[in-house]
Amino acid sequence: MAACTSFVKLNASSSSWIGQQSFNQRACAFPSRSRVSIVKASSSGSYTDELVKTAKSIASPGRGILAIDESNATCGKRLASIGLDNTEVNRQAYRQLLLTTPGLGDYISGAILFEETLYQSTTDGKKFVDCLRDESIVPGIKVDKGLSPLPGSNNESWCQGLDGLASRSAEYYKQGARFAKWRTVVSIPCGPSALAVKEAAWGLARYAAISQDNGLVPIVEPEILLDGDHPIERTLEVAEQVWAEVFYYLAENNVVFEGILLKPSMVTPGAEHKEKASPETIAKYTLTMLRRRVPPAVPGIMFLSGGQSEVEATLNLNAMNQSPNPWHVSFSYARALQNSVLKTWQGRPENAEAAQMALLVRAKANSLAQLGKYSAEGESEEAKKGMFVKGYTY
């Protein structure tokens, strides 16, 4: 409708009324590409410069993201693995341990929080967002509301959370968040169906536009699940299809590419495939996919770990940084940064310092991998254990 009105205004003096009316009616019914571009909207408005700056600072050399945005239910699973109850006090104690690790900012540029954590403080009353700022770590927030079954698909899911997202995002910004995360998933064994891919891509693009409009850099995360026995070539094919659609809709929604970050899965064989791929092969396939699909305007690619072991995730990242890339290629790991921390902590205050050291060991290893300088020499057996869970929910 807006396109019709402005076209009338632009041409009002140059045509006879009757001729113009019939021409405009046709133009509104079948807008051509050039006419649509006359009224092209632009997104992110007043926040553009800030978004670009935030994205650049997260994508800074030798640093990556600590993802601790588990929903209360998923955090409960982490706590249960060391025999702790899923209470607010225990979740706060665990997050406090992570977020008050001295020197964390040397390796970590952003931390993704769950809503509860964004509004929490340490037991001494210091806001968690201030703990992060003191280490030059940008606070981020998970804004999606999780997955639901997608009717009409092949047992696939879609991501919830667009309703009320603008007002929630504005509140998160006020509380100190400067970037956001929305995780949707694509399942290879379930298809993926064209419907599920389109829904995932469209949802990510709407979320990205709304986030930018409210000053939050959107992390765009269509996680292609590791589940399945398919070869690496099939993952490449699906990843290319998914990212093509994601960028198509990001552009349609006027998202500023310089003010986003991506969180892809690495291109690997399915977790149940008969052969494992080496870090060099994973790096080759993953970078091929990214070069074919991701414009160099995007500042950073922050991989998820997806159930790989801590060492595997670090080795794969290191292999991707053996020669220069058009974007900052780094990490946004949850499981691959937290596993040995939890095992060391065991919920005991006397282990807290050792657990923080364990976090620094992993963060430093991934920092080196971001610079292409990591070696797995001396890594513990625990850090080599895989963490894949079928049909994982976050």
Binding site for ligand 13P (CB under 6 A): 67, 69, 112, 181, 183, 221, 304-306, 333-336, 394
Task: Give the shortest CB-305-to-ligand 13P separation in angstroms.
Answer: 3
Query: What residues are labeled active site?
Result: 221, 263
**Do 317 and 370 form a contact (C-beta atoms < 8 A)?**
yes
In the bound complex, what is the minimum distance in angstroms from residue 14's beta carbon to ligand 13P?
54
Output the smallest distance, CB 181 to ligand 13P, in A.
6
The DSSP string of 24-60 is HHHHHHS--HHHHHHT----SGGGHHHHHHHHHHHT-
Nearest distance, CB of residue 221 and ligand 13P, angstroms: 6
The sign of the torsion formed by the CA atoms of 52, 240, 111, 107 equals negative
Please say whether the beta carbons of 18 and 221 come within 8 A.
Answer: no
Residues 6 or more apart whose CB falls under 8 angstroms from that of 89 comprise: none
Which of residues 212 and 305 has its CB atom nearest to ligand 13P in the complex?
305
DSSP lists the bridge partners of residue 95 as none
Instruction: Outline where 100-257 has alpha helix (H).
Output: 115-118, 128-134, 165-174, 194-213, 232-252
Pick the closer one to ligand 13P by CB: 221 or 258: 221
Q: Which is nearer to ligand 13P, 179 or 345 (CB)?
A: 179
User: What's the distance, CA 262 to chain centroid?
Assistant: 5
Nearer to ligand 13P, 115 or 221 (CB): 221
The two beta strands, 157-159 and 147-149, are antiparallel
Tokens of 284: 């080759």
